[in-house]
Amino acid sequence: MNSRKFDFFGNMKYFSIASLVIMLAGLVIGLIFGFANSSSINGQAYLYSILAIIISILVLLIYCAIRHGFYSAFAFLLSSFHNVALLISLVVLFRIPVESGLLMALCLTIALTAVFEFITLSKLTPEMKITESRKTTTNDLVVKSLKQLIIIGLSIVVVLVLGLLIGGVSILNFVRPALLGTIISLYCAIFITTEYWGLYVKEKRKKKIEKDETVFIEKESENGKEISTPENAKQDI
């Protein structure tokens, strides 16, 4: 994949605006027409669904924070809210009946949001630790993780589509929102959180360079030499 063809880093705002427009449209349509087939869901079911979403996001948020720190937890929080809101908006816009299938799809969406984040992190973390890789741009780094994300996302989509083709109408109410959820998670991981990760990489590298500089200066001082800062250190951020 040639990373120069499309600059993922720097285009988040356009995709965020697109998401926001869909969410607003979903909100307006939802307020006017409500959910499709919402008579089969009562207040308690709505309450339980909201509780399930909030608690699962909280549990995964704590997990992210413990395992990968504040940046990761914050990224998960933002992207999971984005994904859940976008999925519900699309369910409203496409008039997909609100049934138990939507809850299953929401579960899949939230879990996939975290999965995609961990896959991206697994690609980015080693790169950030290597000082030599400063020559690669943040966009290149982000692109490196995309292949894995696309393979995972597409594999799930293929299983769901095959399930839809074979399972027919009986499975439609589960597969439709699950497909939407998977695509939304993938879309968010590729087009929206990439800029966030770009900033994250930049920040980490900056800290790494500053640390390297301090160590360099300290070493030179210890040796009684004239202190000089490596000028090229900041060039390739």
Partner 1 sequence: MKKSRTIKNFIGILVICVILFIFAVVKFPLPASDNDYVGFLRAIPLGIEYKGGTTYNYDVLCNTTENSNSAEGIEAHALRIENLLQSSNFDAKVYSSANTIRVDIFDEYDAGDIAYLLNTDYSLSFKTEESLTAETKMSGTDIKNATGTSNNGTYGVYLEFTATGRTLFKELTSSVISASSSGGNVYIYIGESLFTPITVKEAIDQEGVFISGSMTNLKTAELYAAKINASRFDYEFSLNAKQVISQNQALVNLISSGILIITILILGFAWLIIKYKKLGLYISLGVLVTLLSQIILLQAVPVVLLTAPALIGSLLTFVFGILGTTFMLNKMNSEYNLGKKLFASVKFGYKKSFATMLDVFLVLLLASVVFYIFASTMARYFLISFIIGLVCYGLDVVVINLWFSKWYLNINSSKAELCGFKREESVNELA
Closest-CA residue to 121 (of 189, 206, 184, 212): 189
Q: Determine contact, residues 79/48, Cβ cutoff 8 Å.
A: no
Contact flags string 82-111 toward partner 1, x per CB under 8 A: -----------------xxx-xx-xxx-xx
Quote the distance between the C-alpha of residue 57 and its chain's center: 13
Contact flags string 175-204 toward partner 1, x per CB under 8 A: x--x--------------------------
Q: 148: which 2 tokens?
A: 């894995």
The answer to the question of residue 136 lying near partner 1 (CB under 8 A) is: no
Q: How far apart are CA 13 and CA 146, in angstroms?
A: 19
The answer to the question of residue 214 lying near partner 1 (CB under 8 A) is: no
Q: Which stretch binds partner 1 (CB under 8 A): 84-92, 134-142, 166-174, 183-191?
A: 166-174
The one-letter code for the residue type at 170 is S
Residue 48 C-beta: closest distance to partner 1, Å: 4
Q: Where are the alpha helices (DSSP H) in 168-235?
A: 169-187, 193-222
Closest-CA residue to 111 (of 147, 63, 160, 145): 63
The residue (of 99 and 213) whose beta carbon lies closer to partner 1 is 99
Q: How far apart are CA 158 and CA 146, in angstroms?
A: 18
The answer to the question of residue 122 lying near partner 1 (CB under 8 A) is: yes
The answer to the question of residue 37 lying near partner 1 (CB under 8 A) is: no
Which residues are near partner 1 by CB under 8 A?
39-45, 48-49, 51-52, 55-56, 59-60, 63, 67, 99-101, 103-104, 106-108, 110-111, 114-115, 118-119, 121-122, 126, 148, 151-152, 155-156, 159-160, 162-163, 166-168, 170-171, 174-175, 178
